[in-house]
Amino acid sequence: MASVERQGPTLSLSEFFPRFLDAPRNYPLAPKTRREYEKLFRNFIEPLLGQLPLDGISRANVISFIERLQTKGEKVSQIEHAYRLLRAILGFAVDAELIPHNPAQMLKGRVPRKESTKGLALTYGELVRLTQEVSDGDRAMIMLMGLCGLRIGEAVALKVRHVDLDARTVTIEEAFSDGQDGPTKTRKSRVVPMPKRVAEELTPLLRGKLPEAYVFTSPEGQQVRPDNWRSRVFQKAAQRAGLQRISPHDLRRTARSLAETAGASPEEARAMGGWSSYDISVHYLRVYADRLRAVADRFDDEMEKAEQRATET
């Protein structure tokens, strides 16, 4: 875009920010995300750039913004997040034809980056060790996350109606976030085959419950809260199993890793866990069913072998 025709006074970055928050998207910002954006803008971007007109923000301004945050000793992760938000705001201003180009683009090497810490993926043996350290309901939840790729928020939002024991499938269409159930992170549902072992673990948890009841509940019979479950159950079990460095999200990585090892293509493994751009609720029967069911059956075989090895040691 070579030029932009101006109409009236140019908005300042602070004046334009609410428009960015309320911009039409494929789905609205989650309340938690919106609050994070507002906090980043208020604490880092607005004090240094907020009063500048949109068309007055230059590449030099953006570089100076980054350098000043570094000089102030802000955390690398905060600087990186603030920069990404600034880049997104200015990118939206380009789309709105308020500025001709994004001055926050193409700054490779200028933005500090936090050292990447790759998550872990468990082996079948490690997954078995972890499940041996928890009670029945928690074991079912760990197996479901570790073999079907659910996020922890998706697992705790799972209701009885989402589980089809006869077809051995689980439908993921809700997730717990920001204190309540809502859509999944991608705003898409997916249907995933369950290994027979997972279906067997879930069977007693569904018995006698209404369709809208939660599959997993706390000792008090309430919906499981992810933070409480992480500290009360998962971290303690991981320590007892000698797996101190893992997190619940590593179970999701485990499912993807084991699926690819069991013969799923990278795209099928991504689809299983909801990383894919495909909506599996639409494509499931004709694209993924047979392949992912074969993967689920392979999971059963490998888990049985791992459990046998565990009893022999």
The strand ranges marked E within the chain are: 163-164, 169-172, 175-177, 180-182, 190-193
Q: Which of 160, 184, 216 is nearest to 280 (CA)?
A: 184
Between 34 and 292, residue with greater pLDDT: 34
Half-sphere exposure of residue 290, counting CA atoms within 13 Å on the CB side?
A: 2
Whether 10 shows a pLDDT value over 90: the answer reads no
Between 44 and 290, residue with greater pLDDT: 44
Q: What is the mean pLDDT of residues 277-304?
A: 68
- Determine which of 3-7, 90-94, 291-295 has the lowest per-residue pLDDT on average: 3-7
Beta 180-182 vs 175-177: how paired, if at all?
antiparallel
Most confident of 13-17, 76-80, 303-307: 13-17
Beta 169-172 vs 163-164: how paired, if at all?
antiparallel
**pLDDT tens, 244-256?**
889 999 999 999 8
Half-sphere exposure of residue 70, counting CA atoms within 13 Å on the CB side?
A: 13
Phi, then psi, of 159 in degrees rounded to 5: -115, 165
Q: Which of 37, 39, 43, 46 is nearest to 85 (CA)?
A: 37
Whether 185 shows a pLDDT value over 50: the answer reads yes
For residue 217, the model assigns a pLDDT of: 95
For residue 268, the model assigns a pLDDT of: 74
Q: What count of other Cβ atoms lies within 10 Å of the Cβ of residue 211?
A: 10
Q: What is the pTM of this model?
A: 0.69
Whether 289 shows a pLDDT value over 50: the answer reads yes
Spatial separation of the C-alpha atoms in residues 44 and 208, rounded to whole Å: 52
For residue 99 the two structure tokens come to: 């500025």
**pLDDT tens, 95-148?**
999 999 999 998 877 888 766 555 789 999 999 999 999 998 899 999 999 999
- Determine which of 25-29, 131-135, 183-187, 301-305 has the lowest per-residue pLDDT on average: 25-29
Whether 4 shows a pLDDT value over 60: the answer reads no
Spatial separation of the C-alpha atoms in residues 33 and 177, rounded to whole Å: 10
**pLDDT tens, 246-283?**
999 999 999 989 988 888 777 777 777 776 554 444 45
- Determine which of 89-98, 145-154, 223-232, 294-303 has the lowest per-residue pLDDT on average: 294-303
